[in-house]
Amino acid sequence: MTVRIDGKALADDIVEKVALDVAAFKRDQKVTPGLAVVLVGEDPASAVYVRNKVKRANQAGLNSTEHYLAKDTSQEELDKLISQLNQDDSVHGILVQLPLPKHLDESHVIEAISPAKDVDGFHPQNVGNLVTGQKSLIPCTPLGCMIMLNREIDDLSGKNAVVIGRSNIVGKPMASLLLQANCTVTTVHSKTQGIESICRNADILVAAVGQALLVKKEWVKPGAVIIDVGINSVEVEGKRRLLGDVDYDQVSSIAGAITPVPGGVGPMTIACLMQNTLTAAQHQLGV
C-alpha cells in the first residue's frame, strides 16, 4: 500500500502548533513576531504565493506586513527598504519574494538581509551554518521535506538519498540536510549521465527540477519514499493544471510513500516559513 503524504494536513498541524507557541511568546515577551514580505513587480504566481503566506501568517498569529513595489523599482530603493526592515525591531523575519525582475541583483538582495531575519535561509551566513551543521535558519522548502521524511521513515541513517536538482534554494540545502541525517546522498542534475539508474538506487528520492512528469516508474526503486518539489503549470486538455516533477499516477503504484502536487511540499513550505519567523523572533529576543 502506497502512502499518500498529505502535506496540507501536516502543514495545518504545524501552523496550529506555531500559533500556540506564538501565543505563549506574545504572553511572555509582550512582543508579536513580525514577518515582512516584499514583492517587486506583478508576477501572478508570486502574487499568489505572497497572498498564501500572508493568510498563513495571520492564522499563526504573526504580525505580517506586505511591501508591494513596482516592477521598475531601482536597486537603491529596494536596498533602502531592506535596510529599514533590518533596523525595525517589530520585524523579525524578512522575505523578498523571488524571482526578482531582471534588472535587480538577487544575490545582492539576499546578502543585504540581516542573517538573523533571513527566514528564507538564503543568506551566505545561514548557508554556511547549515553546511557546517551549526544553528541556522533553514530554507523552508527543504525543511518541510525533511519534516515529511522524518515522519515517514523511522531512521534516515544509512539510507540512499538522491536529490534531483542543485539549486541554491532547494537542491543544495536538501542534500546538506539529508547528509546531516546520515543518509548517503547523491545529487543529480541536468548534466548527469545515467540519471535513471542512479535514481533507481534511491530509498529516498527528492525531485526539484521544474519539468512536469520527468520521473517515471522505471526511475523508482519499489518501496522508495518520493518527495516531489516541482510545481509546473501545464495545459492539459485546454485547462491549466499544476503538475509535479514526478509522474504521480505511474510512480504511486510502486513507491512506499509519495507527496502529491498540489497538496504536498507546497503547503509545507509556507508552514515552515511561519515556524522560521517564530524561530527568528526567539533568537532575536534570546528566548
Interface residues toward ligand NAD, by CB under 6 A: 141, 164-167, 169-171, 188-190, 195, 208-211, 229-232, 265-266, 269
Closest CB 47 distance from ligand NAD, rounded Å: 15
Closest CB 262 distance from ligand NAD, rounded Å: 9
Active-site residue identified among 21, 53, 117, 118: 53
Active-site residue identified among 21, 120, 203, 247: 120
Could you tell me which residues come within 8 angstroms of residue 84 by beta carbon, excluding any fewer than 6 positions away? none
Closest CB 95 distance from ligand NAD, rounded Å: 13
Question: What are the grid coordinates assigned to 7, written together?
Answer: 502535506
Measured from the CB atom, the residue of 53 and 159 that comes closer to ligand NAD is 53
Measured from the CB atom, the residue of 10 and 164 that comes closer to ligand NAD is 164
Closest CB 164 distance from ligand NAD, rounded Å: 5
Measured from the CB atom, the residue of 211 and 284 that comes closer to ligand NAD is 211
Measured from the CB atom, the residue of 34 and 144 that comes closer to ligand NAD is 144
Active-site residue identified among 97, 117, 245, 275: 97
Q: Which residue is nearest to ligand NAD (CB)?
A: 167
Closest CB 49 distance from ligand NAD, rounded Å: 8
Closest CB 170 distance from ligand NAD, rounded Å: 4
53 counts as catalytic: yes
Measured from the CB atom, the residue of 52 and 129 that comes closer to ligand NAD is 52
13 counts as catalytic: no
Q: What is the DSSP string of the chain?
A: --EE--HHHHHHHHHHHHHHHHHHHHHHHS---EEEEEEES--HHHHHHHHHHHHHHHHTT-EEEEEEE-TT--HHHHHHHHHHHHH-TT--EEEEPSSPPTTS-HHHHHHHS-GGGBTT--SHHHHHHHHTT-S-PPPHHHHHHHHHHHHH-S--TT-EEEEE---TTTHHHHHHHHHHTT-EEEEE-TT-SSHHHHHTT-SEEEE-S--TT-B-GGGS-TT-EEEE---EEEEETTEEEEE-SB-HHHHTTT-SEE--SSSSHHHHHHHHHHHHHHHHHHHHTT-
d(CA 259, CA 3): 9
Measured from the CB atom, the residue of 60 and 81 that comes closer to ligand NAD is 60
Tell me the catalytic residues: 53, 97, 120
